[in-house]
Amino acid sequence: MKNIMIINGPNLNLLGLREPEIYGSETMEDCMLRLRRTYTDYELEYFQSNHEGDIIDEIHRCAFPDAECAGIILNAGAYTHTSLAIADAIAAVNVPVIEVHISNVAAREAIRHTSLIAPVCRGVIAGFGLDSYRLGIEALLNL
């Protein structure tokens, strides 16, 4: 069975608690339960870290043949706008990556309007709440 890896970056461990007016009141556990019920032909793995290097290591891990990874859904959080290292990791692996965001980053602070990872991702989905992850999986499966 092929895996789809969902990777979340900093502060996304606080979903359901953090700024519910922006991120909603659902937890990532709620989201993963719904996704696993929907995508039964795939093993959906989940990884979250507040540390840039851990995210890079997980992206690299997905590239190894034994990972059997069909692709990565990546919400790099604030690292989206600051991490050339994560962009380099995405560019280095032969695994499709879809960038997702819960909020519409284009409608937020100016610093959030630029993504360093978008140019090396297959596409970007933003602004649909936790449904952005489902839309990311759909995009990945349609590649």
Active-site pick, 23, 42, 79, 133: 23
Q: Distance (Å, rounded) from C-alpha 13 to C-alpha 18?
A: 9
Active-site pick, 42, 79, 101, 133: 101
113 is an active site residue: no
101 is an active site residue: yes
Q: Which DSSP string corresponds to 16-61?
A: TTS-HHHH-S--HHHHHHHHHHH-TTSEEEEEE-S-HHHHHHHHHH
84: which 2 tokens? 């050339």
Give me the active site residues, please: 23, 101
